[in-house]
Amino acid sequence: MADVSAKRQRDPEATNESSNQTKKAKTDCETARGDNGNGTNALSGFQTTIVLSDSAREKTIFVHGKLADQNAVVILEKTPIREDALAEIFTASTLKLEMRNDIYSTYRLQAPPHLNEIKATVVCPATEKHVNKYQRRESFLVEETAEDYQSITLPYIQKQSFSVQWVYNILDKKAESERIMFEDPDPKLGFVLLPDFKWDQKQLDDLYLIAITHQKNIKSLRDLTSEHIPLLQNIFQKAREAILKRYSLPASKLRVYLHYQPSYYHLHVHFTKLGYDAPGCGVERAHLLADVIQNLQADPNYYKTRTLYFPLRADDGLLSQFKEAGRL
């Protein structure tokens, strides 16, 4: 972040020009998406360039293309089947037989349109980083020592990480304020809790919420020390209480964890329903918040000194840095 600030101070005219171009691109995308609330088809003008990746198992597809002459990424995802919709699905759908063999038969079922939704997420204007993020790539497990973090990872993320302005917009109530389901406004211990975009909030089976800290100087797990235990305990306790109150889901049915590496460098905690195979919940990336607290209680500098492992995709610039340093 310091490097970016220094660059702005050195070349303010270039920064202003870049900022103006970015604002214009965002305005063009907003117009194309129909963000003015006129009810138009936001994606009618989208032109597909390439399918970045897809998953038959997860019923998702990631597409790169153009929207109002701006680079855009569109994510299409089949919404889950809800229990309260089953009666209508069985009574109001049409069936076409595909195969019958003894006691087994398969059909093509066409549900009523309002029960056959596809969730669409639009990133516009999309940068090259966004395109690379969603493209299918081979992954590698990286071993990062405390020295590696200081000499390789930290300098890289200070220069290359995504902007977290959208996070500040949420914290400052400039965006998504209506989506915040709980807030502790304390500047040191506080946080906001809101649904992750991956959850459509129509059923609890794939519940997914994010707690974002009000403190803006904690990038990731590596920055945590025993000084932050009260913050972590506050999030752990109050967010679970809020989830129980709103969704009647007890703490025993929640998976609460942090990512390392995180997808953005502002401390946040993931809350998902136990049993939901959420993206990134595997042991190679997820660290249970309860374990993080206990580790810091046992060793105040646990995450500043220990070796951490995490996956990186083949096209990740950080992976290249580890290779150049002879660490992979």
| Catalytic residue numbers, as ranges | 268
HEC profile of 136-181: CCCEEEEEECHHHHHHHHHHHHHHHCCCCHHHHHHHCCCCCHHHCC
CA angle 231, 203, 175 (to 5 degrees): 50
d(CA 300, CA 225): 5
Angle ∠(139,278,303) on CA atoms, nearest 5: 65
Beta bridge partners of residue 105, listed in sequence order: 100
Tokens of 66: 């153009």
By the 10 Å C-beta count (0-12 exposed, 13-18 middle, 19+ buried), 268 is classed as: buried
Starting at the edge strand found earlier in the chain, the sheet holding 286-288 runs: 182-184, 191-195, 208-213, 268-273, 254-259, 286-288
Rounded Cα distance between 166 and 161, Å, is: 13
Beta-carbon count within 10 A of 131 CB: 19
Sign of CA dihedral 177, 179, 185, 188: negative
How far is the CA of 44 from the CAs of 25, 30, 31, 38, in angstroms?
18, 13, 12, 14
Strands in 173-214 per DSSP E: 182-184, 191-195, 208-213
The Cα 232–Cα 176 span in angstroms is: 23
- Across the beta sheet with 47-55, the strand order is 47-55, 60-67, 70-78, 118-123
* Rounded distance between C-alpha atoms, residue 28 and residue 127, angstroms: 15
